[in-house]
Chains A and B, each alone.
Chain A
Amino acid sequence: DAGVIQSPRHEVTEMGQEVTLRCKPISGHDYLFWYRQTMMRGLELLIYFNNNVPIDDSGMPEDRFSAKMPNASFSTLKIQPSEPRDSAVYFCASSRTGLRQPQHFGDGTRLSIL
């Protein structure tokens, strides 16, 4: 059974550029989560979806961040325009039935904004 797949694994870009992170959840999982991890703030939940519908985006830092889930097997997290303080590791995770159930994480995208 394939796990959560994220791409790219690494992204280095200049500030002001648009960044798109991609995620394919585990088949059959109804929930999808986007996290950001930094040394200063640890693991932060940015947004999560249930059956492709965004449920809680209160963790999204600002309007420059947006996330979509056009179908059950694909989600994107977009940053436009990017800033150096957005540098972090971004994780996608999925679970079968919600926040109380174990989440399966991808290997993350390490984002560096110069």
Chain B
Amino acid sequence: GQQLNQSPQSMFIQEGEDVSMNCTSSSIFNTWLWYKQDPGEGPVLLIALYKAGELTSNGRLTAQFGITRKDSFLNISASIPSDVGIYFCAGAKYNNNDMRFGAGTRLTVKP
């Protein structure tokens, strides 16, 4: 099905740098979720957002639910090698019958 627009597709950064990625959509979502996928494993939830404007942190990770409800971003501060993986955003709607994933951002961290 139709996916969210997630960018960038990939990032190559140096250890210690900050990272920012985002997801946008042409339609409104009521929930934004951010997942991380390590090689050979399934995605694991990082942060869940349920209100427009909400800013939530999980350690070095911070995510925000855009005011327009059509976007969300994820920031990682002071990256470390174990941050390597694919990060996915997912949006869901109130009617509970529409949920979709972004194409993912592949993050590489050079020590």
B1 adjacent to A44 (CB under 8 Å): yes
Taking the nearest CB of chain A, how far is it from the CB of B96, in angstroms? 5
Chain A residues near B31 (CB-CB < 8 A): 99-100
B30 adjacent to A100 (CB under 8 Å): yes
Docked complex: B97-111 residues within 8 A CB-CB of A: 97-104
Binds B, one of A11-19, A66-74, A76-84, A101-109: A101-109
Interface of B is mostly: loop
Knowing A99-B97, A99-B99, A102-B33, say if A42 contacts B42 (CB, 8 Å): no
**A114 CB-CB contact with B under 8 Å:** no
Which chain B residue shows the least CB distance to A31? B96
Interface of A is mostly: loop
B96 adjacent to A100 (CB under 8 Å): yes
Chain A CB within 10 A, most for which of B40, B44, B99: B99
A107 adjacent to B92 (CB under 8 Å): no
A42 adjacent to B97 (CB under 8 Å): no
**A93 CB-CB contact with B under 8 Å:** yes
Which chain A residue shows the least CB distance to B1? A59
Interface size on B, residues (CB 8 A): 26
Chain A residues near B94 (CB-CB < 8 A): 100
| Measured CA separation A104–B48 after assembly (Å) | 13
Question: Could you show 28 A-B contacts with beta carbons less than 8 Å apart?
Answer: A42-B3, A42-B101, A43-B88, A45-B1, A55-B97, A56-B97, A59-B1, A91-B42, A93-B42, A98-B96, A99-B31, A99-B92, A99-B93, A99-B97, A99-B98, A100-B30, A100-B31, A100-B93, A100-B99, A101-B48, A102-B33, A102-B45, A104-B45, A105-B44, A106-B42, A107-B40, A107-B41, A108-B42
Hey, which bits of chain A sit against chain B, CB under 8 A?
4, 42-45, 55-56, 58-59, 91, 93, 98-108
